[in-house]
């Protein structure tokens, strides 16, 4: 599906700083425990793919990383900033962490251009001309500069998701979270979005991607993480996962999905 990259061995992540630290994170919805004692460290520039069956807590976990969900116990530190009730910390974290949703969640009442420039202008107080130039640059990068003046409803699903990626990038984040970015797309549009994500990975972005696209996981990920019933069951390189998984639950899941 994708091109040459043999990312894993050629990159030296060992010397990098931990940019995401999660320690013993719990999350409850009422008396249902969605996350159970999750700990992990993610290095700068690392590409992590999160796998797991439906309802296993993948979305809940990555949503905790920009506080769309509040974790109930444990610690989360993003680029040295503690995630807590301090609003200044939250704002700092949110402008370092971009997010792409399964349902795109573009703002339907704003043009593509305004979707992208809204964050930079309102949060970073960037002058309009600069923001517009930045937006055009990002639209070139995701391959749809000609759609700038359209509205989201006038675009195909793949184009909408690429606008959503551009919108997240416009805040110049250090980390990008993707929650099943291709699950709502028709098959023929999946590739155009994956290509953009792959280019982003090559450019050095730190990425956490929840996806069922095994081709992407195999070729782009530095590390795979497997969730089940709110727990982190197994983690390792793609090679480890696809050739030599240890846990029974992992094997079962992979046998179903591959």
Partner 1 sequence: MVDMPAQNPQRIVLPPHRERARRPRIVRLREWARRNLFNSRAGTFLTIITAAILALIIYGVVYFVFVDANWRVITENRWLLFAGGYPMDQEWRLWFSVMFVFLLIGLTYGTWASLGRRDHLFIVLASGFAILLLAHGGAAIWSTIWYLIAVGLLYAGYAITIRMPREAGPGRTLQQRSVAGLLIAALPIVLIVLLAFGGARPRELEGFVLNLVLAPVGIVGGLIIAIPLALGRASRMRAISWTCTTYIEVVRGAPLLGWLFVALFILDDVIGGELIVRAMVVLAVFTAAYMAEYIRGALQALPHGQSEAAHAVGLNQFQSMQLIVMPQALRISIPPMVGQAISIWKDTTLVTVILPLRELKGNADSAIAQFEFTPDRIEAYVFVAVVFWVVAFIMSRISQRVEGSLGIGER
Ligand X SMILES: Nc1ncnc2c1ncn2[C@@H]1O[C@H](COP(=O)(O)OP(=O)(O)OP(=O)(O)O)[C@@H](O)[C@H]1O
Contact pick of 118, 136, 184, 254 for partner 1 (by CB under 8 A):
118
Nearest to 64 by CA among 21, 18, 107: 21
Contact pick of 73, 123, 252, 257 for partner 1 (by CB under 8 A):
123
Looking at residues 140 to 179 of the shown chain, list those that interact with partner 1 (rule: CB under 8 A).
Answer: 149, 164, 167-168, 170-171
Of residues 58 and 162, the one with the C-beta less far from ligand X? 58
CB of 58 to Mg ion, least distance (A): 5
Confirm or reject binding of residue 173 to ligand X (CB under 6 A): no
Confirm or reject binding of residue 56 to ligand X (CB under 6 A): yes
Confirm or reject binding of residue 56 to Mg ion (CB under 5 A): no
CB of 256 to ligand X, least distance (A): 13
x-or-dash string of contact with ligand X, 17-46, rule CB under 6 A: ------------x--x-x------------
Of residues 69 and 235, the one with the C-beta less far from partner 1? 69
Distance CA 145, CA 139 (A): 5
Cβ atoms of 67 and 94 closer than 8 Å = yes
Residues of this chain that interact with partner 1 (CB under 8 A) are: 66, 68, 87, 91, 94-95, 97-99, 101, 103, 105-109, 111, 113, 118-119, 122-124, 149, 164, 167-168, 170-171
């Amino acid at each position: 599906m994708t091109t040459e990259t043999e990312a894993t061995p050629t990159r030296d992540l060992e010397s990098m700083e931990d940019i995401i630290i999660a320690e013993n994170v719990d999350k409850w919805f009422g008396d249902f425990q969605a996350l159970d004692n999750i700990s992990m460290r993610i290095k700068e520039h690392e590409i992590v793919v999160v796998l797991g069956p439906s309802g296993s807590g993948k979305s809940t976990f990555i949503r905790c990383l920009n506080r769309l969900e509040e974790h109930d116990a444990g610690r989360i530190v993003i680029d040295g900033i503690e995630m807590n009730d301090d609003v200044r910390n939250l704002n700092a974290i949110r402008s370092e962490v971009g997010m792409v949703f399964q349902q795109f969640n573009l703002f339907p009442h704003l043009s593509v251009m305004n979707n992208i420039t809204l964050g930079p202008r309102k949060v970073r107080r960037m002058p309009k001309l600069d923001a517009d130039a930045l937006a055009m640059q990002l639209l070139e990068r995701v391959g749809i500069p000609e759609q700038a003046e359209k509205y989201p409803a006038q675009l195909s699903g793949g184009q909408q998701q690429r606008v959503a990626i551009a919108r997240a990038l416009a805040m110049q984040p250090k980390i990008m979270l993707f929650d099943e970015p291709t699950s709502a797309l028709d098959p023929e549009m999946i590739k155009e979005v994956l290509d953009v994500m792959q280019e982003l990975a090559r450019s050095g972005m730190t990425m956490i991607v929840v996806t069922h696209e095994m081709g992407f996981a195999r070729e782009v990920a530095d590390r795979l993480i497997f969730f089940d019933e709110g727990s982190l069951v197994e983690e390792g390189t793609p090679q480890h996962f696809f050739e030599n998984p240890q846990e029974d639950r992992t094997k079962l899941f992979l046998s179903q999905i591959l």
